[in-house]
Amino acid sequence: MPAGEPPPGSPWDEPLGRAPLAFIDLEMTGLDPATDQIVQLCVERVTGDVVVDRLFSFVQPDITVPTGGIPVCGITADELVGAPRFALLADQLEQILTGAVLVAHAAAHDIAFLSAELDRLGRPYSCLFHLDTLALSRCALDVPSHRLVALAEALSIPYPAPHRADNDVAALRALFARLTAVLEPTTARDLWQNARPPGRPGAAIVALAQQAMSHSRSVLISYRPSRRKAEQLRFHVTAVRTDLDPPRVLGYLHDTRGRRELWVERILEIELSDDDC
């Protein structure tokens, strides 16, 4: 498996309906994982449509909550009275996450806070690969805003209490179902390939395209158009434009001779074939 890919096997290569997914949302005292802390969390481990484990709780932070409530989420000090410390939830949280594909909206933000909280307990946490519904929605949906609240409104997803972790997870799961209906993935890896950050293939893709052009060979290109699922193209490369931003691969389709201009950042894979032009 090339570096930078999710590891082979379960859960990434299981049929999506059988793969364990951990839908998670966190509410925090602020935006900086180094100084702010989690005050509410919800995580649901789901296989198919079945919730097999769930953790939902307010969390008592070690820092003072503003009298008027936390600006970023509105949670008040009164709501946190009697809530457990994060340390008391860590075992169950890690159990739910272990062996599952983490799914979140703007996932890097939640992962950063999760890692910071566990690091403070001396329990280092790493989540190198995950599914981000923010990135997936940008691939699948043509809407003015990809914020979770805006997506819920655009898709008529019930969302009565934004910035409450349980409501956010419910909206997240409903959004995930809509996205998979559009993208039609077979596995979690299919979704990861659609949502991976632009430009990750970079130099390797350019090199393969230049090789195909220099040898006048057709290639099989896996390409992710904007707001659609990935497609397979039998393609003849006639030019590689690294002087453009973003870089582009120019050529034509093998079957129709139709001209195409492909953005390098949307090319998932190039497979050289034995066919000559």
The yes-or-no verdict on residue 3 having pLDDT over 60 is no
11-20, 156-165, 221-230: which range is least confident on average? Answer: 221-230
pTM over 0.85: no
Three-state secondary-structure class, residue 276: strand
Listed residue (59, 17, 64, 46) closest to 169, CA to CA: 46
pLDDT at 2: 41
pLDDT at 241: 87
Q: What is the mean pLDDT of residues 17-33?
A: 95
pLDDT at 194: 79
pLDDT at 235: 92
pLDDT in tens, 190-245: 999 877 654 444 677 888 888 888 877 788 998 888 667 778 899 999 999 887 76
Q: What is the mean pLDDT of residues 51-60?
A: 98
pLDDT at 8: 93
- Which is more confidently placed, 272 or 186? 186
- Which is more confidently placed, 82 or 265? 82
The yes-or-no verdict on residue 163 having pLDDT over 60 is yes
pLDDT in tens, 107-125: 988 999 999 999 999 999 9
AA letter at 106? A
On whether the CB atoms of residues 39 and 28 are closer than 8 A, the answer is yes
CA separation (Å) from 194 to 24, 190, 230?
20, 7, 7
The yes-or-no verdict on residue 273 having pLDDT over 70 is no
Alpha helices in the chain (DSSP H): 86-97, 107-120, 133-140, 148-154, 165-183, 188-195, 202-214
pLDDT at 80: 95
The structural domains of the chain, ordered by start, are 20-195 (3.30.420.10), 202-276 (2.30.30.520)
Average pLDDT, the chain: 89
Q: What is the mean pLDDT of residues 25-30?
A: 95
The yes-or-no verdict on residue 246 having pLDDT over 80 is no
pLDDT at 197: 52
Q: What is the mean pLDDT of residues 238-261?
A: 86
pLDDT at 200: 44
pLDDT in tens, 175-188: 999 999 999 999 99
Q: What is the mean pLDDT of residues 85-106?
A: 97
pLDDT at 124: 92
Q: What's the rounded Cα separation, in Å, for the pair 34 and 36?
A: 6
CA separation (Å) from 157 to 90, 92, 233?
31, 29, 35
The yes-or-no verdict on residue 5 having pLDDT over 70 is yes
